[in-house]
Amino acid sequence: MSGKGERLTIGVVAATLTPLRPDGAPDVAMLDAHCRRLLGQGCSNIVLLGTTGEANSFTLAERREILTGLVASGISPGQLIVGTGCCAIADTIALSRHALSLGVARLLVLPPFYYKKVSDAGVFEAYAKTIEGIADERAHIYIYQIPQMSGVDVCAALVERLYEAFPQTIAGLKDSSGDWAKTQALCRALGDRIDVLVGTETLLVRALDAGAAGCVSATANVNAAGIAELFRRASSGDATAGVEAQVNGVRAAFERYPMIPALKAYMAARSADDRWRNVRPPLAPLGQKETDELVAAVATLDASARKQGAGLPKR
Omega before 282 within 30 of 0, i.e. cis: yes
Q: 174 an active-site residue? A: yes
- Active-site residue (options: 174, 200, 202, 264): 174
Is position 91 within any domain?
A: yes
Is position 217 within any domain?
A: yes
pLDDT of residue 43: 98
State how far the Cα of 157 lies from the Cα of 185, in Å rounded to an integer. 10
Q: 264 an active-site residue? A: no
Q: 142 an active-site residue? A: no
Mean pLDDT by 10 residues, the chain (315 residues): 68 98 97 98 98 98 98 97 98 98 98 96 98 98 96 94 96 94 91 95 95 97 96 87 90 98 98 97 98 96 74 58
pLDDT of residue 240: 80
pLDDT of residue 58: 98
The domain that contains 60 carries what CATH number? 3.20.20.70
pLDDT of residue 303: 83
pLDDT of residue 208: 96
pLDDT of residue 311: 58
- Active-site residue (options: 9, 92, 127, 144): 144
Is position 5 within any domain?
A: no
Is position 237 within any domain?
A: no
Is position 42 within any domain?
A: yes
- Active-site residue (options: 51, 52, 92, 169): 51
Is position 307 within any domain?
A: no
Look at residues 278, 308, 309, 311 and name the one whose alpha carbon lies nearest to residue 57: 278
Is position 102 within any domain?
A: yes
Is position 61 within any domain?
A: yes
How many domains would you assign to the chain?
1
Q: Which domain range does residue 179 map to?
A: 11-223
Q: 144 an active-site residue? A: yes
